[in-house]
A and B are shown apart, each in its own frame.
Chain A
Amino acid sequence: MIQIQNFNFWYPGRGEATLREVNLTVKPGEMLLLTGPTGCGKSTLLKCLNGIIPHLSGGRSMGLVLVAGMDTRSQTMAQLSARVGLVQQCPDDQIFSTIIQDEVVFGPENLCLPRQEIEKRLEWALAAVDLSGFQRRSTTALSGGQKQRLAIASMLALRPHILALDEPISQLDPQGAVEVLEIVKKLQQNYGVTVVMVEHRIHEVAQYVERVAVMDEGRLVFDAPVRQAMAQAELFAGMGLRLPETVEISRRFHQVGMTVGETVTLLKQERRKHGSSAISGARTHLPFFPKIRYPVDGLAAVEARDLYHRYGKKEEYTLNGVSLRVKRGERVAVMGRNGAGKSTLLSHLAGLKAPQQGDVRIAGISFGGKLPLGMVGMVMQNPDLMLFQTSVRREIEFGLHNLRLPPAVIKERYKRVVENFSLDRLQDDSPLALSRGQRLRVAIAAVVAMAPLIVFLDEPTTGQDKRNMDGMMAALREQVDTLVFGTHDVEIALAHATRLLVLDQGRLAADGAPRELLADRELMNRCGLRPTPSWLVGQELGLDNVFTPQELEARWIC
């Protein structure tokens, strides 16, 4: 279905090739995961499939890209769009119609298809993504997962043989991600659609795909069936990519467990092989798992009382009577499905939004809508919106100068954050010209340099690979006294939070220790969260309080 032969591509004005000697074949009906570290060229390769490269991008290419036997260079965009549907990362940026029907029929209308055919395709595409009956619904009223399904439907209406998905779940909560992945799998299995998916979140996607191709620095460095690929853990770890927990657990036995069920079976087999005494011995010798503890001095860093907020008078309340108290030294994770109110809550706590009702106190002081300069730091979901200086140096020094600190203090703080965030070599570069991970580091460094009492992070790990995530969280834990971060990532919450807040439709559904709340299946389901695979495996094996592969390993294996 797809043949890429010795393909090289240079973006306009760039000396170095973004794609180098890429060779890849995808069979009809296959589901391929294309992965690799941030900036390795995988999204660029995806754009070659539907002719965006070279028809729209400009630049220079060498080699061949054949789709259904035809050279993409000799095909028009319209011809290619009927063969390859490209779904991009952010559903909000690619959906432009006000109602679902208009979004789906946009392509068929452009192709001037007969009215009956357009209607037929509309119904089929919506049924294929489980959105039947939603024709007249507003696109803004959909959840994140539904929006991405709509983006897929709008491509399906062109009846493509190939779906090219560019990080389709990176912006979604865990349940939204599962919705999308299951729909894509259904399309592949029931309709024979060939799927090429670019994604960092291998741990969530691997069980759905048949083959994995890995890119690094523009080259295809690995290509194998998924089980074979998952056995190469070092390759993925070296690139900062996260493998499924079930794979990490089963690696110990030189096997690959793709699902919870497979892993449980494998562990039970191992138990039979090694005998139960070894297992029970492991249990008795490793009864306790160190929890991350931080000095908590009891003073409130931030306190909210009866917060209410809605974005319009006709809208539902985004915050519906939220009260909480974050003590100094705490690391608080805020979780919940897309639209649960996480970002709104963080904006209120940071003093960016004045409460419509209720009160927020930072270090015991109510600022009433005024910003407490230097007391709080905020890292937004999109770090690009925080970078407005011409160099990394100016970006970091900007806040320090505004605090009117003595030059010696500015120099010392600047030096410290540049070292801690590994920005030494980028000091004179323009922040917006850096890679995604580097931009995030600069944004965080600029905030941390001001030494705020408390830092808020709004889903900072979105779109970041594991290496970036771990580096960032480690630096923050090192340098920030009190941290409140919104996230969809259960593993990140478990690894870095001392306390977990779960929001559901603007209400505080739960507040407690992460390990306690993340073991509450009913709460997790209700609030759009998914337990870790290790926890699921642990439950099947009758082990409580197991959340990570390391813990499972310690409890189950000697």
Chain B
Amino acid sequence: MLSWQDVSGVGVHSTMLHRLDPRVKILMLLTTGLLVVFIDNPWVLGGLLSMGLTGMAAARLEAVKIKVVSTVIILGLWGAVFSQALFYEQTPRTAIFTLISPGFPLLGPLTKGLYVYQEGMVYGLRQGLRMAVMTSLGMLVCWTTDTRLLLLGLVRLRLPYSLAFMAVTAVRFIPVLMQETMQVMAASRLRGGSRFSLQVLSPILANCLRRAGTLAVAVESRAFRAYNRRVYLEELHMAMGEKLLLVSYMLMATAVAFTKISYLGYTYGIYYHFSLRPLYEIARSCL
């Protein structure tokens, strides 16, 4: 059976991706988040997804982790494609398959016919791929970056320490919370109750509050937020190669965004310049 321990934690390997400065990973992830908004071409989105999956292989992640992320991606893609294929509302749309014809007794008149639309499938695939890209890259960052380095990276990217600390500490306590949830559900089941009853929430919440109180005392007893700033024993050092990688990636993303925005300006009749025609062509065919 799959356990939390199998899919959490950074793992034992130390590949180049593990050693990459956390700021580079976080910024590249955020940049990709913006990038996928500008890309509609399923092939390019598929390329970005394969980049995430290749990263996982390069990071030598355990098979169980790759299995988990693949399952999430496949289910997400299937859900997005299936729902959009059936309920795509925009026109033009091409029905490629009829699930329920309008003449079908009872359901036909009720649904006015249920069809699988080609454009809906493509639209769903696009949305699904966007989510899949972010899932694969997000998990890759989590599975190759120690929580403490993630905290340091976030702080060095100017996220207030209190916020970064809260976010990372919440992650630290997820396994404990899960374990307690299982115990409460087990206690309920042993007495004939349902494991999914809302009643099980009260001991979980009560325990969370108690733990939050303990943690608050623990951090406040150690001069938490004693000053507006704090120092760090360990510092992050971004190597020249890492800087180049980050800058190149961000420049590439900026170029993609500029190309797409120019194209959208042209198609909506907002702005046109003949010198941008090669960009329009790239955007039309690739983005």
Partners in one complex: yes
CB-CB under 8 A from B156, the residues of chain A are none
Tell me the bound Cα distance from A376 to B186 in angstroms. 12
- A154 to B222, Cβ gap below 8 A? yes
- A388 to B188, Cβ gap below 8 A? yes
Question: Among the listed B146, B206, B221, which residue makes an inter-chain contact with A52, where contact means beta carbons less than 8 Å apart?
Answer: B221
Tell me the bound Cα distance from A262 to B249 in angstroms. 74
B39-47, B131-139, B224-232: which one contacts chain A? B224-232
Question: Among the listed A81, A371, A384, which residue makes an inter-chain contact with B189, where contact means beta carbons less than 8 Å apart?
Answer: A371
**CB-nearest residue of chain A to B10:** A98
- A98 to B147, Cβ gap below 8 A? yes
Please give the distance in Å from B206's CB to the nearest CB on chain A: 5
- A96 to B207, Cβ gap below 8 A? no
- Using a CB-CB cutoff of 8 Å, which residues 29-53 of chain A contact chain B? 47, 50, 52
Q: Mark A369-387, 1 if CB is under 8 A from B, else 0.
A: 0010110111010101111
CB-CB under 8 A from B111, the residues of chain A are none
CB-CB under 8 A from A97, the residues of chain B are 148
- B203 to A432, Cβ gap below 8 A? yes
Please give the distance in Å from A91's CB to the nearest CB on chain B: 10
Q: Mark B170-193, 1 if CB is under 8 A from A, else 0.
A: 001100100010011011111111
Q: Does B199 contact A (CB under 8 A)?
A: yes
Please give the distance in Å from B100's CB to the nearest CB on chain A: 39
- B214 to A94, Cβ gap below 8 A? yes
Question: Among the listed B180, B191, B202, B230, which residue makes an inter-chain contact with A446, where contact means beta carbons less than 8 Å apart?
Answer: B191
A188-196, A283-291, A310-318, A546-554: which one contacts chain B? A310-318
B1-9, B15-23, B85-93, B122-130: which one contacts chain A? B1-9
Question: Among the listed A77, A112, A313, A386, which residue makes an inter-chain contact with B220, where contact means beta carbons less than 8 Å apart?
Answer: A77
Tell me the bound Cα distance from A112 to B202 in angstroms. 40
Tell me the bound Cα distance from A354 to B3 in angstroms. 13
**CB-nearest residue of chain B to A446:** B191
CB-CB under 8 A from B187, the residues of chain A are 378, 380, 385-386, 388
Q: Does A28 contact B (CB under 8 A)?
A: no
Q: Mark A54-70, 1 if CB is under 8 A from B, else 0.
A: 01100000000000000
A208-216, A245-253, A397-405, A472-480: which one contacts chain B? A397-405
Contacts A352-B190, A385-B183, A398-B191 known; A82 to B3 CB distance under 8 Å? no
A102-110, A231-239, A300-308, A495-503: which one contacts chain B? A102-110
Contacts A94-B214, A96-B215 known; A384 to B192 CB distance under 8 Å? no
A114-122, A415-423, A512-520: which one contacts chain B? A114-122
Contacts A52-B221, A385-B207 known; A402 to B148 CB distance under 8 Å? no
Q: Mark B203-246, 1 if CB is under 8 A from A, else 0.
A: 11011001100111111111111110111110000000000000
CB-CB under 8 A from B232, the residues of chain A are 109
- A399 to B233, Cβ gap below 8 A? no
**CB-nearest residue of chain B to A86:** B221
CB-CB under 8 A from A240, the residues of chain B are none
Q: Does B159 contact A (CB under 8 A)?
A: no
- A398 to B193, Cβ gap below 8 A? yes
- A387 to B222, Cβ gap below 8 A? no
Tell me the bound Cα distance from A102 to B207 in angstroms. 26
Q: Does A442 contact B (CB under 8 A)?
A: no
Q: Does A428 contact B (CB under 8 A)?
A: no
**CB-nearest residue of chain B to A115:** B233
Tell me the bound Cα distance from A347 to B224 in angstroms. 39
- B233 to A101, Cβ gap below 8 A? yes
Tell me the bound Cα distance from A312 to B2 in angstroms. 8
- B221 to A388, Cβ gap below 8 A? no
- A98 to B172, Cβ gap below 8 A? yes
Q: Mark A147-163, 1 if CB is under 8 A from B, else 0.
A: 00001001100100000
Q: Does A85 contact B (CB under 8 A)?
A: yes
Question: Among the listed A93, A377, A389, A401, which residue makes an inter-chain contact with B211, where contact means beta carbons less than 8 Å apart?
Answer: A93
Tell me the bound Cα distance from A314 to B61 in angstroms. 13
Q: Does B64 contact A (CB under 8 A)?
A: yes
Contacts A96-B215, A378-B187 known; A403 to B192 CB distance under 8 Å? yes
CB-CB under 8 A from B188, the residues of chain A are 388
Q: Does B200 contact A (CB under 8 A)?
A: yes
Q: Does B169 contact A (CB under 8 A)?
A: yes
Please give the distance in Å from A429's CB to the nearest CB on chain B: 15
**CB-nearest residue of chain B to A380:** B183
- A110 to B233, Cβ gap below 8 A? no
Question: Among the listed A108, A118, A155, A389, which residue makes an inter-chain contact with B199, where contact means beta carbons less than 8 Å apart?
Answer: A389
- B233 to A109, Cβ gap below 8 A? yes
Q: Does A483 contact B (CB under 8 A)?
A: no
- A315 to B225, Cβ gap below 8 A? no
CB-CB under 8 A from B5, the residues of chain A are 311-312, 314-315
Q: Does A111 contact B (CB under 8 A)?
A: yes
- A110 to B192, Cβ gap below 8 A? no
CB-CB under 8 A from B190, the residues of chain A are 350, 352, 371, 373, 376-378, 447
- B215 to A78, Cβ gap below 8 A? no
Q: Does A90 contact B (CB under 8 A)?
A: yes
Contacts A109-B232, A112-B230 known; A102 to B148 CB distance under 8 Å? yes
Please give the distance in Å from A358's CB to the nearest CB on chain B: 14
- B3 to A311, Cβ gap below 8 A? yes
- B233 to A158, Cβ gap below 8 A? no
Tell me the bound Cα distance from A313 to B233 in angstroms. 34
- A77 to B223, Cβ gap below 8 A? yes
Q: Mark A385-415, 1 if CB is under 8 A from B, else 0.
A: 1111100000000110111000000000000
**Chain A contacts to B: CB under 8 angstroms:** 47, 50, 52, 55-56, 76-78, 81-82, 84-86, 88, 90, 92-99, 101-102, 105-113, 115, 118-119, 122, 151, 154-155, 158, 311-315, 347, 350, 352, 354, 356, 371, 373-374, 376-378, 380, 382, 384-389, 398-399, 401-403, 432, 446-447, 450
| Sample of 4 more A-B contacts, CB < 8 Å, known A155-B221, A311-B5 | A50-B221, A96-B215, A110-B226, A350-B190
**8 A–B contacts from the bound complex (CB under 8 Å):** A78-B227, A84-B221, A96-B218, A109-B233, A154-B222, A371-B189, A378-B187, A384-B207
